[in-house]
Chain A
């Protein structure tokens, strides 16, 4: 129970943030927020020992028992690793944001509420065992990301980026929901654990491939894989702490989590292995290649994130290939799963620090344009050191954590060439080649990022602000992460035992039954010359040479068209104007058109039902004789109706309409329905009064009032409605499938409801729900009329316009 509630701790804490911001303005709100992730991080750390031994924790909170939907927190190695990342990086980012966001100028209450909401959503994604609640949290991460990207909502680019990320990730989310529903149908359960245990039977199901592709769409959009990555560079409009947290360390890894979590189910399929590995590797190459085109520091990091996510994705694909090999644990394929998780940790560490440095540079110089920056090394020595450590770790240089995982990545890719299933023997050689080219570009952009910012010539005249080192508080988090990047290099196996292996055991249960069984030992130096080592050396030399000559060939990038982005823009433009144009064809703004639609549909639907069910029944038995009174009232009714049609003035028409109503009321009197008659009479009176009031507001078309023109179409519809209603009345009278309910009312009205007037008891008791909603509708109509008449939209300058 308590584990589930912990997921909701951040969002509950968020409720108090606006209050703290307004009431305790002197203290930066971030200090209060910091307590939440820090406390959660400490708590989740205490779970480490038992999880590292292969244990797990489950706790459940019923949500909609009737639909079998529940919040189930299931913590195993994989979930725990992500939970620690979310809360750990979260705490560092909040600490950093305290110094990054000014407490007087920024709307901190908005910022931290969104951030805490995101934390809950993300914890929910990685801990949910129930597919539907997983989906719920998944979309909540998209929404909080939307809000955080659009945090500076007065900027055009922020709103554009927020919308773009939302459109793409929510599209993926909906696809994923479809996949989940298919999985639910296939396995007859929404629990991931139960689905995993059924995995062998699921493979042969017809829906299997559909579910696979749909779920991958969700994962690929979220984790910014090709071709959906285009939202991530635009998401860089968010404040830098957000970019560091959501768009590099956590949210974009939700897709990786999803792929890892579902590997035990889908690994059996060759499609899965091909798609995940292939798209991942291609994304890695694409992202690293275009990172060098970027001029914005955060743009470089965005593309590098895309590339690194692709790398991890491809490793997850390779780890699924282990399912198809008899002795997977003995050949090098077993490195893939380990490398994926290990690199995921390394990436969170070095990319987090790099984003924070980009934020610091932006904060202290006023620009992120790499063409204006340079020579900051002596002015910002600490930032430079941190950036260098982060970038070298990203480039895969020793002695930093990235070196180890990069090496293992190459090992995994080389191992694929020995793999002979799914025609890998033909194409297998492509994988290490692409991986190698991608790594070369990674090497170059890492250097590009550091040295074009911190080395070279200082250009103070181009900087909006004179550059200086960041305040100490702002440096705590990046320095801490940089130290971590070094420490990981020296204790990789301790990290492996505690964090990586439990997660790997969760991804590859078909290979290992406990974390201890994961037989991977990380070493910086294998003691002998391997293919991977030669590849690494080649990366360093070729990358170094290309970086040396970067200025000579970087301008070639400007020749590449921006196809994917313009595709998105055109699609958005088309759907926007297309929908608008389509609506305008039938939304004319004239109530007469809408009445025509409504009445024609009424006729079509009711008569259609009549024809389909052969419900024409005319039975004249049992009808009361028509007396003189009825004939007279009917003549009055018809006469006044015709008067409306032929009257030349509106006033006459209104009064004739009243006469119609009163004649109907007289019918009620004759048929002994006093309640109806009374109500009808009063309503007629009031509506005539209302008509007279509104009379002054009707538009004056011409001075000479004339009667309506005859329209054949309208006459046809009017005739149709009349015929339909007559048929309904006759059929209702003639064919009685069920005995009348009035007997039931007669029997129970006094005994059970304690009343005498059936009509009123129906209104307040038998069908009280109807009445409750009816008066609700009445209230809404009242509000609608007030807004229509009193609060007419006037063009006023909004305070939230672009600044």
Chain B
């Protein structure tokens, strides 16, 4: 069932990157403006799904050779480790810490341990969504 989808493929090549950039933006901006790890992860997954629809699952597997199960576990570990790290500083489980730093290029930026946790959420969401879609899609 090979159809001619030149238009879809051409648009996808551009749109995917726009979605991915937006996903990264929304992930980092999440703490102050709408967004966050969950939405960011979903957007990233939707970009990859778009690629899959346009080019087929096997092709996408070649260009994005990521093991999504590993990605999920890394995300979970990152989230748990962030939450548990507070124990090392003798504060209750899940206490977050943040401060403001002057970084080159960015200027005054707030760095927040919640961001690490959110990164864990991001990885789990992308990992699980893609695991589900890949396993169902590949199944004959």
A residues engaging B (CB < 8 A)?
674-675, 678-679, 682-683, 685-686, 689-690, 693-694, 697, 753-757, 759-761, 763-765, 768-769, 771-772, 775-776, 778-779, 781-783, 785-786, 789-790
Q: B127 to A782, Cβ gap below 8 A?
A: yes
Q: B136 to A763, Cβ gap below 8 A?
A: no
- 13 A–B contacts, CB within 8 A, in A order: A675-B35, A675-B39, A683-B42, A689-B49, A690-B133, A754-B114, A755-B114, A769-B94, A775-B79, A779-B72, A782-B68, A786-B135, A789-B135
Q: A759 to B133, Cβ gap below 8 A?
A: no
Which listed residue (A689, A754, A757, A778) contacts B35, Cβ 8 A?
A757
Query: B3-11, B25-33, B58-66: which lies at the A interface?
Result: B25-33
Q: A760 to B36, Cβ gap below 8 A?
A: yes
Which listed residue (A755, A756, A772) contacts B79, Cβ 8 A?
A772
Chain B hits for A764, CB < 8 A: 31, 36-37, 96, 114, 117-118, 121
Chain A hits for B49, CB < 8 A: 685-686, 689
Chain A hits for B98, CB < 8 A: 754
Please give the distance in Å from B118's CB to the nearest CB on chain A.
5
- Chain A proximity mask over B77-114: 1 for CB below 8 Å, otherwise 0: 00110010000000000101010000000000010101
Which listed residue (B83, B114, B121, B131) contacts A782, Cβ 8 A?
B131
Q: A775 to B120, Cβ gap below 8 A?
A: yes
Which residues 113-138 of B have a CB within 8 angstroms of A? 114, 117-118, 120-121, 124-125, 127-129, 131-133, 135-137
Q: Taking A678-B39, A682-B46 as contacts, is the C-beta distance between A782 and B128 under 8 angstroms?
A: yes
Docked CA distance A785–B124 (Å): 15
Please give the distance in Å from B60's CB to the nearest CB on chain A.
13
Please give the distance in Å from A686's CB to the nearest CB on chain B.
5
Q: B124 to A757, Cβ gap below 8 A?
A: no
Query: Which chain A residue shows the least CB distance to B53?
Result: A689
Please give the distance in Å from B46's CB to the nearest CB on chain A.
5
Docked CA distance A690–B129 (Å): 10
Which listed residue (B31, B73, B136) contacts A761, Cβ 8 A?
B31
Query: Which chain B residue shows the least CB distance to A674?
Result: B34
In this complex, how many residues of chain B approach chain A with their Cβ under 8 Å: the count is 48
Max chain B CB contacts within 10 Å: which of A686, A694, A753, A789? A686
Q: B31 to A756, Cβ gap below 8 A?
A: yes
Which listed residue (A675, A683, A763, A775) contacts B76, Cβ 8 A?
A775
B residues engaging A (CB < 8 A)?
26, 30-39, 42-43, 45-46, 49, 53, 68-69, 72-73, 75-76, 79-80, 83, 94, 96, 98, 110, 112, 114, 117-118, 120-121, 124-125, 127-129, 131-133, 135-137, 139
Max chain B CB contacts within 10 Å: which of A764, A772, A779? A764
Please give the distance in Å from A679's CB to the nearest CB on chain B.
5
Q: Taking A764-B114, A778-B125 as contacts, is the C-beta distance between A790 and B136 under 8 angstroms?
A: no
Chain A hits for B131, CB < 8 A: 782, 785-786
Docked CA distance A753–B34 (Å): 16
Query: Which chain B residue shows the least CB distance to A785?
Result: B132
Q: B31 to A757, Cβ gap below 8 A?
A: yes
Chain A hits for B38, CB < 8 A: 679, 763
Docked CA distance A763–B125 (Å): 14
Docked CA distance A768–B95 (Å): 10
Query: Which chain B residue shows the least CB distance to A787?
Result: B135
Docked CA distance A563–B43 (Å): 68
Q: B33 to A756, Cβ gap below 8 A?
A: yes
Q: Taking A675-B36, A682-B39 as contacts, is the C-beta distance between A775 and B124 under 8 angstroms?
A: yes
Q: Taking A755-B114, A757-B30, A785-B131 as contacts, is the C-beta distance between A682 and B53 under 8 angstroms?
A: no
Which listed residue (A753, A769, A789) contacts B139, Cβ 8 A?
A789
Please give the distance in Å from A784's CB to the nearest CB on chain B.
10
Docked CA distance A123–B43 (Å): 58
Q: Taking A682-B46, A769-B94, A782-B69 as contacts, is the C-beta distance between A775 and B125 under 8 angstroms?
A: yes
Docked CA distance A776–B80 (Å): 10
Q: Which 3 A-B pairs have the closest CB atoms?
A: A756-B32, A760-B36, A754-B98
Q: B129 to A686, Cβ gap below 8 A?
A: yes
Please give the distance in Å from A202's CB to the nearest CB on chain B.
42
**Given contacts A686-B129, A694-B136, A782-B127, could you give 5 more A-B pairs where the C-beta distance is less than 8 Å?**
A693-B136, A753-B114, A756-B31, A768-B94, A786-B131
Q: A775 to B121, Cβ gap below 8 A?
A: yes
Chain B hits for A697, CB < 8 A: 136, 139
By secondary structure, the B interface counts as helix
Chain A hits for B112, CB < 8 A: 754-755
Q: B139 to A768, Cβ gap below 8 A?
A: no
Q: Taking A778-B128, A782-B127, A786-B135 as contacts, is the C-beta distance between A757 and B33 under 8 angstroms?
A: yes
Docked CA distance A732–B116 (Å): 35
Q: B34 to A759, Cβ gap below 8 A?
A: yes
Docked CA distance A765–B96 (Å): 7
Q: B127 to A761, Cβ gap below 8 A?
A: no
Chain B hits for A783, CB < 8 A: 69
Query: Which chain A residue shows the least CB distance to B114?
Result: A764
Please give the distance in Å from A280's CB to the nearest CB on chain B.
53
Chain A hits for B76, CB < 8 A: 775-776, 779
Chain B hits for A674, CB < 8 A: 34
Chain B hits for A782, CB < 8 A: 68-69, 72, 127-128, 131-132
Chain B hits for A768, CB < 8 A: 83, 94, 96, 114, 117
Q: A790 to B118, Cβ gap below 8 A?
A: no
Q: A757 to B32, Cβ gap below 8 A?
A: yes
Q: A785 to B135, Cβ gap below 8 A?
A: yes
Docked CA distance A521–B112 (Å): 79
Which listed residue (B37, B43, B83, B127) contacts A682, Cβ 8 A?
B43
Chain A hits for B94, CB < 8 A: 768-769, 772
Chain A hits for B75, CB < 8 A: 775
Which listed residue (A689, A778, A781, A786) contacts B133, Cβ 8 A?
A689
Docked CA distance A768–B80 (Å): 10
Query: Which chain A residue shows the least CB distance to B132?
Result: A785
Chain A hits for B46, CB < 8 A: 682, 685-686, 689
Which listed residue (A675, A694, A754, A765) contacts B34, Cβ 8 A?
A675
Q: B32 to A755, Cβ gap below 8 A?
A: yes
Docked CA distance A665–B80 (Å): 31
Please give the distance in Å from B120's CB to the nearest CB on chain A.
7
Chain B hits for A760, CB < 8 A: 30-31, 34-36, 118
Chain A hits for B45, CB < 8 A: 686
Please give the distance in Å from B56's CB to the nearest CB on chain A.
12
Chain A hits for B43, CB < 8 A: 682
Which listed residue (B31, B34, B42, B73) contacts A686, Cβ 8 A?
B42
Max chain B CB contacts within 10 Å: which of A753, A754, A756, A775? A775
Chain A hits for B121, CB < 8 A: 763-764, 771, 775
Please give the distance in Å from A376's CB to the nearest CB on chain B.
61
Chain A hits for B26, CB < 8 A: 678
Docked CA distance A417–B124 (Å): 77
Max chain B CB contacts within 10 Å: which of A679, A682, A771, A785? A682
Chain A hits for B42, CB < 8 A: 679, 682-683, 686
Q: Taking A689-B53, A764-B118 as contacts, is the C-beta distance between A759 and B36 under 8 angstroms?
A: yes
Please give the distance in Å from A583's CB to the nearest CB on chain B.
28
Q: A761 to B128, Cβ gap below 8 A?
A: no
Query: Which chain B residue shows the least CB distance to A693?
Result: B137
Docked CA distance A678–B118 (Å): 17
Please give the distance in Å from B70's CB to the nearest CB on chain A.
12
Query: Which chain B residue shows the least CB distance to A780?
Result: B128
Query: Which chain B residue shows the least CB distance to A750?
Result: B32
Docked CA distance A693–B131 (Å): 13
Please give the distance in Å from B37's CB to the nearest CB on chain A.
7
Q: B69 to A786, Cβ gap below 8 A?
A: yes
Docked CA distance A194–B68 (Å): 58
Query: Which chain B residue shows the least CB distance to A754?
Result: B98
Chain B hits for A683, CB < 8 A: 42
Q: B35 to A753, Cβ gap below 8 A?
A: no
Docked CA distance A786–B121 (Å): 20
Q: A785 to B136, Cβ gap below 8 A?
A: yes
Docked CA distance A402–B124 (Å): 69
Query: Which chain B residue shows the least CB distance to A790?
Result: B135
